[in-house]
Structure 1
Amino acid sequence: MSRRGRTLARVAPAGERALLPAVAATTGVVLLVVFYYPVGTVFVESVVVDGRLTLAPVREILTSEFYLVDILGFTAYQAFLSTLASLALGLPGAWVLARFEFPGRRLLRSVTILPFVLPSIMVAIGFVAMFGRNGTLNAVLRTAGLGGVELLFTLEAVIVAHAFYNAPLVTRVVTAAWESVDARAVETARGLGASPSRAFRDVVFPQLLPAVAVGATLTFVFTFASFPIVLALGGFQLATVEVWIFKLVSDLEYAEAAALATVETGISLALTYVYLRYEGRTSGQGTGANPLPRRSLLPESLDPGAVATRLAVFAYGLVVCVVFVGPVLSMVLSSVTGSEGLTLAHYRFLVERQATGAEFQVKPLPAIRNSILFGVATLAVALPMGVVVGVLSTGEGWGRKAVDTLAMAPLAVSGIVVGLGLLRGLVFGVDVFGTRVAITGAVAIVAAHAVAAYPFVTRNVAPLLSQLDPRLVESARSLGASRARALWDVELPLVSAGVVAGAAFAFAISVGEFDSTVILASGSGSYTMPVAVERYLGRRLGPATAMGSILLVVTAASFVVIDRFGGRWES
């Protein structure tokens, strides 16, 4: 080998050794620049006024009757009611999935990941099509000779929509816990003379309670920070914290918005900390090695108890159809119907708007193009970030736990706060060594989307990495492979299903992201399908449902990929 060849042979391994630390450092820089700095900007603006450090803006929020009662109080109140509704709809679903066997059970369980995939603005437009004055529900009631109902812009509509979004999450968490109950413990209780109800109360329910508490806590956190659903179904008259922050930003009241965002973030972080502590104490309960046997849901006898059980399941199925299936079908139906019956007029409107619309009007093709391009760009950024964080957070020790905590912080901070921070910081520009640096338009949106998406990549990849035999990596390292080469050649092929599922999550979350996008999008160069749905909804329902149906097709494709490869979300 020539001298040049020997030099290259020595350089290549050195480059490989530096590759993983370099990607990890880049991930840290990206998080620092596009997450921690923007969020820090919001915090600073809430305590610095005219160059002076003061707590007056935050104190005004916490002492104002309007903010304390009408905004924060109402936000907590609707989140509490939404949590109760989600539990009421989600717990029976967990009972059906955990205790019965029936055709389509696996598909039904897979559907419980939809809250992570379906764009919330699309859910809102589905509820408008279902429960609006001229919606599907009122059409059915009028056909039956009954009076119509007016549910839009009511608290009830917001609560039901939140239950649509969060009840599947409750079902998923509790089903996993129910399937981890050891059947031998129940058999022992029955053998000692306990009735079925007593065995459930004394053996099963105590093991389900932690999962119920986790599901309720997560639901409260999510509904406390809800934005698109409340904006579309409640408006400013039912404003929550997120909606009011958006109004303040729209009115250019940035200091007041920053103060309110700081208070909201503090509450969300506290709730998330409580959830993580509780989940950490309760994780690992139940072995699942000897799960309770499932009964067939199909009729086997005319026993009164079995008949009553199946009637209860049937009644629950009707409620599920109304609350979960109805809004999505209503949106699709509304997109192809009008006063004259079946029609493609709404889709023709989108085509005509694209061809003849003014520059300032929202056109469908740029929205579709931007959503897909932003999704692909988000995927390119979020996937390596999520994988690297998954590698760094796998294992024991306070250092890895610190990495996991710092990296997962975006899950506890709303998109509105991140968008506000990016707007006030990098979008407006910052001085770096005398040079004005600004991140605007598509770059800012992709940055916000990547911050929101990469934790889902980590949550898909990290559990699989932690289950790999460490001797596999040690063997590769002993044969001369760098840590990066061992990850690429050994670990990633073994966890490829989690990588693919995480990639699908990242793309779907970007396509459906509304909170930060609506703040950062400006002009036809950056608005997306969710933003277009919201803009059309403010004028005409038909075009909004047509655009929502197109958005449904894109997110449905992501769901198929996640359902195929995301088996770890079953646990």
Structure 2
Amino acid sequence: MSPGTRERWLRSACLAPAMAVFGAFWLLPMAWLAVLPAQQGWATYAAVLTQPRYLSSLLQTTALSLAVTAATLLVGSLVGLFLGRTRFPGRALLLSLLTLPMSFPGVVVGFFVIMAGGRQGAFALLSQWLGWSRWSFAYGLTGLFLAYLYFSLPRTIGQFAAASQALDGGLEDAARMLGARPWQVARDVWLPALTPTAVACGAIVFATAMGAFGTAFTLSSRFEVLPISIYNEFTNYANFPLAASLSLALGLMTWLVLFACRQPGDKAALA
């Protein structure tokens, strides 16, 4: 056997376990998910568009995820830039505390929001003590937004802090020597350098918010998102074809939005 043949056999042997795992745990389930709705007829594939309840759930989920992504990028970039470019006592401890929520599952994050804004939470007790009615915001859009934001910020802050430390200080000094104002330095130096980080963080935050289940399961009694609709069809009603159709719609919407949002970032990177 020639050396080239042995090398090809070795590569095939190394690749075979990965391909087996890929086929068994991704390709086969995805193929079954794609054909399952046909058991109830081809119209099942369009259920998310033809049934107002599921269309509303999909649009609400997408709008919430976009809002969370925008807020996370805004807050996370500002905090990350400050922490990445500023040295002060306790900075390392503060960074570690900010990343602590990454260790919590979605259910625990939802529980935190309930303790703050639930019917027996801190805000409800405070509003009652002030003589008003109990104020509760945990079980609807506001609660979900805050929970998703709380869950997503640590990753974004850490990424922007690391990216800001890698900024080329020489470019900033040159821009200032040429008379650039602070906002011009931010536009011409910071923004191009941080765009790839923003695109990557935004993609992760959006995809996570679209598919979040634990937090939504805890807080979405007044605001239905598509993962909860899928859970209900799959678990409570055993309607597997419709659950598969909604899953495909969720995945397709997530991919389309990520693809559309990534185009400006790719063009900026090429420029």
TM-score of the superposition, structure 2-length normalised? Answer: 0.82
Q: Kindly tell me: are residues 260 and 186 of structure 1, through their superposed partners in 2, closer, same or farther at Cα, counting changes over 3 Å? A: same
In 1, the alpha carbon distance for the partners of 2:84 and 2:270 equals 18
Quote the Cα distance in structure 1 between the aligned partners of 2:67 and 2:258: 19
Amino acid at match of 1:248: E
Matches of residues 349-368 of structure 1 in structure 2 within 5 Å?
none
Q: Residue 59 of structure 2 is aligned with which of 58, 73, 88?
A: 73
**34, 42, 64: which one aligns with 2:25:** 34
Amino acid aligned to 1:58 = Y
Aligned to 1:43: 34
CA RMSD of aligned residues (A): 3.1
> Following the alignment from structure 2 to structure 1, what is the Cα–Cα distance between the partners of residues 267 and 70?
24
CA distance in 2, matches of 1:25, 1:278: 37
Structure label with greater radius of gyration: 1
Distance in 2 separating the partners of 1:278 and 1:29: 36
1:151 aligned residue: 137
Partner residue, 1:260:
246
Q: Within the alignment, does 1:221 sit opposite 2:207 as a pair?
A: yes
Q: Check whether the contact 1:248–1:256 (CA below 8 A) recurs between aligned residues.
A: yes
Is 1:242 matched up with 2:233? no
Give 2:173's aligned residue: 187
Q: Which moved more, 1:135-144 or 1:208-217?
A: 135-144
**Counterpart Cα distance in 2 of 1:72 and 1:126:** 26
Deviations 1:422-474 (A, max 9, x none): xxxxxxxxxxxxxxxxxxxxxxxxxxxxxxxxxxxxxxxxxxxxxxxxxxxxx
Identity of aligned residues (%): 23
Match for 2:105 among 119, 136, 142?
119
Deviations 1:242-272 (A, max 9, x none): 1100011121111111111111122234455
1:212 equivalenced with 2:202 (yes/no): no
Deviation for aligned residue 1:119: 0.9
The answer to whether the Cα contact below 8 Å between 1:85 and 1:160 also exists between their aligned partners in 2 is no
Work out which of the residue numbers 164, 172, 176 in structure 1 matches 2:162.
176
Structure 1 residue 104, shift from structure 2 partner: 2.9
Other-structure match for 1:166: 152
Deviation string 1:402-438 (CA, Å, 9 cap, x unpaired) is: xxxxxxxxxxxxxxxxxxxxxxxxxxxxxxxxxxxxx
CA-CA distance at 1:284 after TM superposition: 11
| Residue identity opposite 1:158 in structure 2 | L
Q: Secondary structure at the match of 2:137?
A: coil
What secondary structure does 1:102 align onto?
Answer: coil
* Paired letter, 1:261: S
Cα deviation, residue 214, structure 1: 2.9
User: Aligned runs of 1:389-408 on 2, under 5 Å?
Assistant: none
CA distance in 1, matches of 2:110, 2:147: 7
Compute the displacement of 1:121 (Å).
1.1
Q: Deviations over 1:304-362 (max 9, x none)?
A: xxxxxxxxxxxxxxxxxxxxxxxxxxxxxxxxxxxxxxxxxxxxxxxxxxxxxxxxxxx
The whole-number CA distance in structure 1 between the counterparts of 2:157 and 2:29 is: 35
Separation in structure 2 between the aligned mates of residue 269 and residue 200 of structure 1, nearest angstrom = 31
**1:138-167 Cα distance to aligned partner (Å, 9 max, x none):** 345556667642112121110000000112
Distance 1:33 1:272 in 2: 26
Distance 1:145 1:209, change over 3 A: farther
Q: TM-score with structure 1 length normalisation?
A: 0.41
Q: Which amino acid aligns with 2:246?
A: L
Q: Taking CA–CA contacts closer than 8 Å with sequence separation of 6 or more, which of the two structures ends up with the larger relative contact order?
A: 2
Partner of 2:5: none
Q: Name whichever of 264-273 and 189-198 sits farther off.
A: 264-273
Q: Which amino acid aligns with 1:38?
A: P
Counterpart amino acid of residue 238 in structure 2: L
SS at match of 2:136: coil
Measure, in 2, the Cα distance between the counterparts of 1:146 and 1:101: 44
Distance of 1:99 and 1:284 partners within structure 2: 26
1:47-446 superposed matches below 5 A: 48-49=38-39, 55-68=42-55, 70-111=56-97, 113-114=99-100, 116-141=102-127, 148-235=134-221, 237-249=222-234, 250-271=236-257
How far does the alpha carbon of each residue in 1:23-74 deviate from its partner, in whole angstroms, 9 at most, with x for none?
A: 652343233223322232111102x226xxx532112322333322x11111
Count of residues in correspondence between the two structures:
262
| Match of residue 364 from structure 1 | none
- Change in 2 beyond 3 A, CA 1:207/1:85: same
For 2:77 and 2:163, locate their aligned partners in 1 and report how far apart those are by CA, in whole Å. Answer: 12
Q: How far does residue 179 in structure 1 lie from its aligned partner after superposition?
A: 1.8
Q: Please state how far the C-alpha of 1:230 moved relative to its aligned partner.
A: 1.4
Kindly state the Cα deviation for residue 185 of structure 1 after the two structures are TM-superposed. 0.8
1:523-542 equivalences under 5 Å are: none
Distance verdict in 2 for CA 1:149–1:228, change over 3 Å: same
Say if 1:157 and 1:233, in contact at 8 Å, map to a contact too.
yes
SS of structure 2 residue aligned to 1:238: coil
The answer on whether the counterparts of 2:47 and 2:246 sit within 8 Å (CA) in structure 1 is no
Counterpart AA for 2:19: G
Return the letter of the residue paired with 1:60: A
Corresponding letter in the other structure for 2:30: V
Partners of 1:246 and 1:157 in 2: CA distance: 20
CA distance in 1, matches of 2:196, 2:22: 32
Greater fraction helix: 2
SS at 2:204 equivalent: helix
Structure 2, unaligned runs of 5 or more: 1-8
